[in-house]
Every structure is written in C-alpha cells, then in structure tokens.
Amino acid sequence: MKTPDWRSRATFNEYQKEIAKGHLEHGCRLCEEISLTEYTHWRLITNRFPYDRVADVHHQLIPKRHTNGEDLTEEEERELKELKQSVLNQLDYNYIMQSLPKQMSIPAHLHYHLLKVKTFADVDV
C-alpha cells in the first residue's frame, strides 16, 4: 500500500515490521486498543503508528462495536455528529479525516484520524 510520508522513518519502519508479522491480518487491533475516553457509542484511542512527521497528536475515533461503518445506527450517527460539533472542537484537533478504502490498513473497523498538526517550522521536510 502506498501512503503519504506522514510517519517518521522510525514509526514507518515499526509499522512495516508489524505488517510483515501479520499484525493487521488477525483480529481487530482497533477493538483491542485502550480507550482514552469513551462516549455512548464511540471511543477515542491513540494511534499506535501515528503520523508523527506532521502531527503532534494523532488519535482515532472509532465506534465501540466492530463495524465498517456501512450499518451505523441512527444513534451512532447522531452521536458522531454531536462529537464533531462539540467535544472534538474543544479538544483542539485541527483535522478529522477518514482514509478511502484503498488506503485503509484496517477497513473492517470504521475509524477517523484526529490530528493536531505541527507548525510548518516543526515539520521535517
């Protein structure tokens, strides 16, 4: 999978080692991660392989139940909208993004990337 160079070399190499060991092929890593915060239908986790070249903070927002997102309930969608409009803004994230399917390393579990980006002067170019 070709991805943007958003990870530092060290993080990218660690990520590739985990992929080579089959890390992303067995079970769901996202389901296993420890929550930073939990809401009714969603939870916030730390990205184990962050985009640390461009972001100081890289969390992920995931549904509590394992789903690819195609079958979100009205309650899950409503809470997601509320989180985007309130809590996530208050936490000072700059971006919330979702990769397209061909770029997703874990397409079976919907996840949004929440980034607090570095200033240009802090980015390794």
- What ranges do the domains of the chain cover? 9-122
The sign of the torsion formed by the CA atoms of 115, 116, 120, 122 equals negative
Tell me which H or E stretch contains 55: strand 55-63
Mean pLDDT of 63-80: 95
> Which CATH code fits 9-122?
3.30.428.10
State pLDDT tens for residues 77-109: 999 999 999 988 888 899 999 988 777 778 889
Give pTM, 2 decimals: 0.85
